[in-house]
Amino acid sequence: MITRETALALVLAENPNPGLIAHGRQTEAVMRALAAALGHDPELWGITGLLHDLDYPRTAAAPEHHGLALRDALPEGALPEEALHAIAAHNDEHTGVAPGTAFDYALRAAESVTGIISAAALVRPDRMVGMAPKSIKKKMKDKAFAASVRRANILECEKAGLALDAFLALAIAAIAGVAAETGLA
């Protein structure tokens, strides 16, 4: 498996916009926290979170390839098959690759929750400071707020093994840990 440094270098080599880099870092942080909480490998889950949108700059106009084209972008053996499947399944509505494992559901929930937490932080005077799961749940009910975030994916945290309130608390703490480097401080 590739190192985190190599994974970050691959992400940066794609010249993505800063928002996509921040999203990858936030997803990485949430995935590491989830893995630790659920008894999985934080390094594998974290690197998978960091890399999950690596092919997005090249597949934005062809969403049916997003998550699948990543295999061609990675060095052989960079990620195990379970990670590649989770990446393809995070975009199942376009790839047709169905999620089925805790890893798959964790990535779908983690990458989706970053959008709503980031949007909530940007409208708060204190950004991430004092953010609570209750406020994110309220934002989730407002379909106009962060409208592109797939709320159903966030709810899949339960299929990954964590109740919604616990997942939101974990995600808020994880994203707060990278807030300064992802524009949310």
**How many domains does the chain divide into?**
1
For residues 128 and 184, the answer to whether their CB atoms sit within 8 Å is yes
| Domain of residue 126, CATH code | 1.10.3210
Please tell me whether residue 185 adopts helix, strand or coil conformation. coil
* pLDDT tens-place string over residues 92-112: 999 999 999 999 999 999 999
Q: How far apart are CA 170 and CA 94, in angstroms?
A: 28
pTM: 0.97
Range of the domain at 119: 4-182
* pLDDT tens-place string over residues 127-155: 999 999 999 999 999 999 999 999 999 99
